[in-house]
Structure 1
Amino acid sequence: MYAQRPPEERIDRYAGPYERWVFSEELGRPYAFPAIRQPEARHMAAILEGDGDPSQMKDAETRLPPLWPPQAAGHAVTPFVFRNDNEVDLSPDRALAKRLGTLTAPDLSPRVRLNMPLDAASWVETYAPETPAAQWRRPARTPKAILGVIDNGLPFAHRAFLDTNGKTRISHLWLQSARALPSDRVPVGREITNGEIDALRTAHGADERRLYRSVGAIDGDMPEVGRLLDHHATHGGHILGLAGGNGARLPGPELGDDIQIVAVQLPNTVAWDTSGFGKEMFMLSALHYIFARASEIARDCGVAGELPLVVNFSYGWSAGRHDGRSEMEAAIQQMLARRRQVQPETAVVMPTGNTFDSDMHARVAASDFEEGTARVGWRLLPDDRTSSYLEIWLPEEFDPQGWQVRLIPPPGSGPLTGTAIDISADPELDPVGDLRRFVELERDGHNLGQLSVDFHRGSRWRVIVAMIPTAETGTDRRLPSGLWTIEIARGHGTPIGESEALYLWLQRDDDPRALGMGGRQSHLEGASGMVRGFGCLSAICSAPDATRVAGLQGGTGQPAAYSSGGGLDRLSGNPVAWGAQPDFAALSDQGPSRPGLPSLGTISGSGARLVGTSAAAALASRWMVSNAASGKALQDGLAPLPLLPPGDARILRAARLGRGRVPIEL
């Protein structure tokens, strides 16, 4: 049973539904990723939205990562890390609530999103962000463009990233979760620059894995680095190779010495956890780092102004607003808008996602309500060892007074309490930031789930249902598997309009093999046309200026079966697009019998294949940065899509593939 807390120890006053679930021992903490289950959370990552100042946190050392532009008046979202060495004899959620409470001020109401705890060994004791990089060297050729890559397991010593003189083209690298040096230009982890990479390659010769161990890029004692680069292949190695490598396994065009690379290696949990929780600080600080180091390269190479910049960001999650106004999307949009004022050839390239055929999205229209209630099935599979999440988003500015969401469990589940939640604020919570309400789903006093409501960013109501695993996990709790029914009842409230809808998304529940978490993907079931693939784009790629890349199947010209599509509604019988749509497509499968694309393994000379729209985005980034270095517009030369098959509607194809395709074949 969820115990009541004093107001100053209620994490739900200062943070959102995911934080309450993940950090509370009675709720979802026993089933979270290992990094989140650390016994003490003295080093933490977080983001702060709006005009708040992280330095207001009392009894804590707070740090900002390198931000771009450094002289900006303010950021839509500020990533930061903090350390508190004071002994706090409280559970993690209570201790974090007390610390977050010190961020508030009479004239501020900041929204705080807690992220993952940090390994104490990754905390840099002397953070010196303004210090010049001692081992950075100026490239032999003046750069004409910068490629940024954000991913995991980056094989930065691979020969595919050498220039024609045998020197690395990777100018700067930030290993965000590596064991820290005593002093560094990044607040956590370690920065490595081109001169150090070249010296390491000389010292270690062909033994690249020994090189990685020497700098902490392979470190079994640091779980967020781990032994990923001991594996044959990594997601990051594949993406870095497709976007920025040269070699026999890689596509053209060959990238010249005038394209420099700035890369950020994310912590393993950030890369692998697909719930959407705990990533924003690391991702936003990675973007800021790449923007800041691109400015540094231009300055130190005598380039007037900013260089063209293409950032490949092959990550995302499935549930969210999908309207461009989440914290991540607002931050990405602000950064793109600011940089394009001084350098129009700037892009953040993102995959559309891989969930089109996974039944993870549903649209509930006014016509789906019968006697004031709409129903959607949520099938939770047996032997799922991780938490499962469902989000329901109401129309923006819609007043849901009188509305309620109810859960109907599978037959044989026994008597449950907390199966319904009103879509309204809890008057007793007195939250800082968004209005919210919480209800615990319980059986015999044991928690099975959490129902929550929040007025997200003060503009749109959201319902989240979080469930514990359906497998035995060593606790005394297990969720009944089977078909749960989500009932959305409007009660005496105002109906939604004929052109409005409620949107449901599930979070992905992938199982990273390196962790063996045992996740099994749930899915939605509903009336014909309710559950759909259209509208299942990645939840962080809807910023207006982001570049969204879909996956194309070679040989057929058809969308890859998994490639997520833009939103479509049917009004008066005709499909009408809503929300973000793919900008264009690139190969993600070589053909019906050749899934995926070839790229690099972790060691020079090795290769691997990757299936998914991440590969398509990397291919697009390669093409765009090559254009920039040639003095062309980023999307110059976009090829037309194949002719429409008979009876295929143009708007349906645009929702899957956008307006063209990257002219790179494999």
Structure 2
Amino acid sequence: MLRWSAAKPAQDDVLSQTADFRLGRAIHVDEPEDWWSVLLEIEGSIDDFAERAAPLAEDIIIPVAYDAEDRTVPASRQPLVVFARQTAIAAFNMEPEAYGILSLLLGAETPRRFLDRHATPPPMTEIPVSEDTVVMAVIDDGIGIAHNLFRTGPTASRVQFAAILEAEPLVRGSRASVGRALMQDDIEDLLSQCTRGAFLDEDLFYTATGQVNFRTQVFSTVALRRSHGTHVTALAAGYAMEDQVENRPIICAALPARVVEDTTGVSFLPSLYLAFHMLVKQARRFRTQAGHAPVQFNFSYGNSGGPHDGTGLFAMLFEYYFGAHAQCPQRAWLTLPAGNSNLRRLHAQAAGAKTKLDLDVLPDDRTTSEVQIWTPFNGSVEPAPVQVSVETPHGALSLIGTTDTMSQRLIDDNGREAARLSYEFVGAPVMRGLFLLNINATASHLDEVLAPSGTWRLEIIRDLGAEPTEVPPVEVWIRRDETLPGFRPGGRQAFFSNDDYRRFGKFGLPLAVDPKDTPSPIRRAMTISGFACGQSPITVASYTEREEVVSLYSGAGPLNRPSSPQGSDRDGPDLAAKGDDSFVLPGVLSAGSRSGTFVRQGGTSAATPRVARAASSAIGAASGTARDWARDPLRDHADGIARFALKDGTPQRSGSGGYAIEVQDHLPRPDAEC
């Protein structure tokens, strides 16, 4: 029988409730191979942190991607990715002040065989390039770097650098603390070794790069017919081999399959921060006669968490590298998708004195579920009073409020935890209260306590003290949890299921916009990706070409208002590009995992690299910022771009409108799909 424990007060609490919850689920706590990626925000320099953490040195690996220059730079707060054993993470979480840690985000479990404490930095020699060169930087999973669209000859690659974050390090000459870092020479040597006559053995190549090893259970979607990263990279930077394109060199980072399989918690961010750090440093190597070559980044992933106001670690990651005080010394733009959560019932608003939400947690869900409840922005550290109660499907009731940092745990008779409800106040620049509901998996092959599936009932109680229309609502988001295509089944998405939510219109088509004066707290508005709320990136929505409408799934604004001065001024995506050919032919054609193949994938992930491709032709001469260009791409660059009239476009759904962007360099006829 599961029951809620008594509320635990602040003085007994930890820096990160989510990290504490996830570590508590780990089965082999004391195994020496049990390493995790961790994103820290530290005060001072990396060298200062290393000195403070010297007693835990055997349990920490600071990646070699942070070179001597990086390690000596002081800052009031700066991000740092480390790999650590659970003993070190527990120490950081319980006593952060002793190590100068301001925040802690737990990443994914990382087997020791993927780590190399003794790696040496990759070479940073300059690469001279022509004046019209734009570096194409892609972060994704399953990037088929041997595809013929990324080569200029049978053994000549346009990929100048590839970080494979899930691969066993080389026995000698390792250039990465996690996985492998391959330079262009390494890639071309492997292409030569794996080419027989005029044919490349791509299965052998991806085994040689460490991306696929079925014997040791190393997996990448490049082993499948379709891989997300190859499809996206080809849309952004794919050119026919015979075209001999030299002015679009590629640098890329392939994320571990583990963090893509399980997107709950915050396991994604440490790998993402490390990937951006590695690529930003590599981009500095490309030099024209006038200076650094510009670089166009593309990251085609979305996320439903975060405060959704342009603050928080989700959005601030990109501001750190692309904002006004960016760490990237050359002109750098970033394209991000608006996300595909518009119809998934992952967002709700609590505007009245009492708001009830039905949360359906599905059976056979092998990943944890997480609900984030964000109170309105408050310029002080005393937010407006809010209480949250949670009732399990079996009737166990919990209740905590904003009066103090605290948590309650749902435990079994042996004290093992099945769920946790916690509250904390997130300081500057976010300045919001955050309730977190973490729920264990509902199915597992391991010996762990399971959370009950069924309807969990949430109630948000507010002391308004004024007319409801004058008080900003409490905003609620469920983190994306569903297993993506191509990965082992495991995650099943939890969702809100209140009876008053209208899913369909009178003709049976899903409603893409909230009905006027809807009484339901479940909303399609504010479903824009939590990654895409920042001030600097270009955020891309998706449209369906034949029907001339915004794609039903495409995430919408506005942002969470009010917010701090550091928040974003955006109201939704910046513009829309094609993500689907039609309702009956969803998705768009681009590269399959093997050379010469083409497959269909859709979503805002497919629309975004089309914009990255167009932006790469504009970045060198465009005046203003990336978003200035995105508000009117035709102003600075018109070749291959035409404005597309959307029947239902609004600033909150499609920004400055739909744009038809030609990507025909490598695509077959629509009836020639392989």
TM-score tier after normalising by the smaller chain length: 0.7 to 0.9
Matches within 5 A, 1:368-407: 368-369=352-353, 373-397=354-378, 399-400=382-383, 402-407=385-390
Give the corresponding residue for 2:579: 588
SS of the residue corresponding to residue 615 of structure 2 reads helix
The amino acid of 1:438's aligned partner reads S
Give the corresponding residue for 1:421: 400
Give the corresponding residue for 1:151: 140
TM-aligned CA deviation for residue 140 of structure 1: 7.7
TM-score, normalised to structure 2's length? 0.80
SS of the residue corresponding to residue 98 of structure 2 reads coil
Match of 1:210 among 201, 204, 215: 204
Question: Structure 2 stretches of 5 or more lacking a match?
Answer: 501-518, 563-567, 664-674
Alpha carbons of structure 1 residues 605 and 550: separation in structure 2 relative to 1, 3 Å: same
Question: Are 1:451 and 2:451 an aligned pair?
Answer: no
Give the corresponding residue for 1:201: 191
**Aligned mates of 1:405, 1:485 — CA distance in 2:** 10
**Aligned mates of 1:519, 1:351 — CA distance in 2:** 22
TM-aligned CA deviation for residue 47 of structure 1: 1.8
Match of 1:516 among 488, 493, 499: 488
Give the corresponding residue for 1:89: none
Alpha carbons of structure 1 residues 244 and 616: separation in structure 2 relative to 1, 3 Å: same
TM-score, normalised to structure 1's length? 0.81
What's the CA shift string for 1:517-564, capped at 9, x where partnerless?
A: 432222113453421111011111111001100111112221111111
Give the conservation status (yes or no) of the 8 Å contact 1:67–1:292. Answer: no
SS of the residue corresponding to residue 45 of structure 1 reads strand
Question: Are 1:653 and 2:636 an aligned pair?
Answer: no
Alpha carbons of structure 1 residues 247 and 447: separation in structure 2 relative to 1, 3 Å: same
Question: Are 1:438 and 2:438 an aligned pair?
Answer: no
Alpha carbons of structure 1 residues 628 and 318: separation in structure 2 relative to 1, 3 Å: same
TM-aligned CA deviation for residue 315 of structure 1: 1.5
Matches within 5 A, 1:135-174: 138=127, 144-163=133-152, 167-174=156-163
TM-aligned CA deviation for residue 516 of structure 1: 3.0
Matches within 5 A, 1:514-663: 515-526=487-498, 527=500, 528-567=519-558, 580-628=571-619, 635=629, 636-637=633-634, 642-643=644-645, 645=647, 653-663=650-660
SS of the residue corresponding to residue 280 of structure 1 reads helix
**Aligned mates of 1:409, 1:117 — CA distance in 2:** 29
What's the CA shift string for 1:39-70, capped at 9, x where partnerless?
A: 44554322221415431212214424535984
Give the conservation status (yes or no) of the 8 Å contact 2:155–2:191. Answer: no
Alpha carbons of structure 1 residues 321 and 342: separation in structure 2 relative to 1, 3 Å: closer
Give the corresponding residue for 2:514: none
Give the corresponding residue for 1:97: 90
TM-aligned CA deviation for residue 587 of structure 1: 0.5
Give the conservation status (yes or no) of the 8 Å contact 1:43–1:81. Answer: no
What's the CA shift string for 1:250-282, capped at 9, x where partnerless?
A: 9xxx89311111100111112232224212221
Give the conservation status (yes or no) of the 8 Å contact 2:424–2:434. Answer: yes
Question: Are 1:465 and 2:448 an aligned pair?
Answer: no
TM-aligned CA deviation for residue 227 of structure 1: 4.8
Question: What is the CA RMSD across the aligned residues, in angstroms?
Answer: 3.6
What's the CA shift string for 1:110-169, capped at 9, x where partnerless?
A: 21222223222222243322x636xx8957856611110001111111111113796211
The amino acid of 2:62's aligned partner reads R
TM-aligned CA deviation for residue 456 of structure 1: 2.0
Give the conservation status (yes or no) of the 8 Å contact 2:374–2:435. Answer: yes
Alpha carbons of structure 1 residues 660 and 227: separation in structure 2 relative to 1, 3 Å: closer
**Aligned mates of 2:146, 2:246 — CA distance in 1:** 16
Give the conservation status (yes or no) of the 8 Å contact 1:276–1:319. Answer: no
TM-aligned CA deviation for residue 440 of structure 1: 0.8
SS of the residue corresponding to residue 24 of structure 1 reads helix
Give the conservation status (yes or no) of the 8 Å contact 1:568–1:655. Answer: no
**Aligned mates of 1:661, 1:75 — CA distance in 2:** 41
**Aligned mates of 1:145, 1:152 — CA distance in 2:** 22
Give the corresponding residue for 1:431: none
Please identify, of 473-482 and 117-126, the stretch whose mean Cα deviation from structure 2 is larger: 473-482
**Aligned mates of 1:339, 1:552 — CA distance in 2:** 33
Give the corresponding residue for 2:111: 119
Give the corresponding residue for 2:223: 230
Give the conservation status (yes or no) of the 8 Å contact 1:137–1:195. Answer: no
Give the corresponding residue for 1:574: none
What's the CA shift string for 1:309-347, capped at 9, x where partnerless?
A: 111011232121111111232232122135779877421
**Aligned mates of 1:162, 1:274 — CA distance in 2:** 32
TM-aligned CA deviation for residue 473 of structure 1: 5.0
What's the CA shift string for 1:624-663, capped at 9, x where partnerless?
A: 1133468888644276755564xx6xxx611111103343
The amino acid of 2:554's aligned partner reads S
**Aligned mates of 1:453, 1:382 — CA distance in 2:** 27
Give the conservation status (yes or no) of the 8 Å contact 1:150–1:312. Answer: yes
Give the corresponding residue for 2:17: 17
Give the conservation status (yes or no) of the 8 Å contact 2:350–2:460. Answer: no
Give the conservation status (yes or no) of the 8 Å contact 1:137–1:194. Answer: no
Runs of 4+ in 1 over 6 A off after TM superposition: 1-4, 339-344, 492-497, 568-571, 629-634
Give the conservation status (yes or no) of the 8 Å contact 1:322–1:580. Answer: no
SS of the residue corresponding to residue 421 of structure 2 reads strand
Question: Structure 1 stretches of 5 or more lacking a match?
Answer: 31-35, 85-91, 426-435, 572-576
Give the corresponding residue for 1:88: none
Question: Are 1:504 and 2:476 an aligned pair?
Answer: yes
Give the corresponding residue for 1:363: 349
Give the conservation status (yes or no) of the 8 Å contact 1:326–1:540. Answer: no
Please identify, of 600-609 and 482-491, the stretch whose mean Cα deviation from structure 2 is larger: 482-491
**Aligned mates of 1:340, 1:442 — CA distance in 2:** 45
TM-aligned CA deviation for residue 438 of structure 1: 1.3
The amino acid of 1:74's aligned partner reads A
**Aligned mates of 1:514, 1:341 — CA distance in 2:** 35
Give the conservation status (yes or no) of the 8 Å contact 1:162–1:168. Answer: yes
Match of 1:349 among 335, 347, 353: 335
Q: Number of aligned pairs?
A: 604
The amino acid of 1:218's aligned partner reads V
SS of the residue corresponding to residue 312 of structure 1 reads strand
SS of the residue corresponding to residue 138 of structure 2 reads strand
Give the conservation status (yes or no) of the 8 Å contact 1:64–1:79. Answer: no
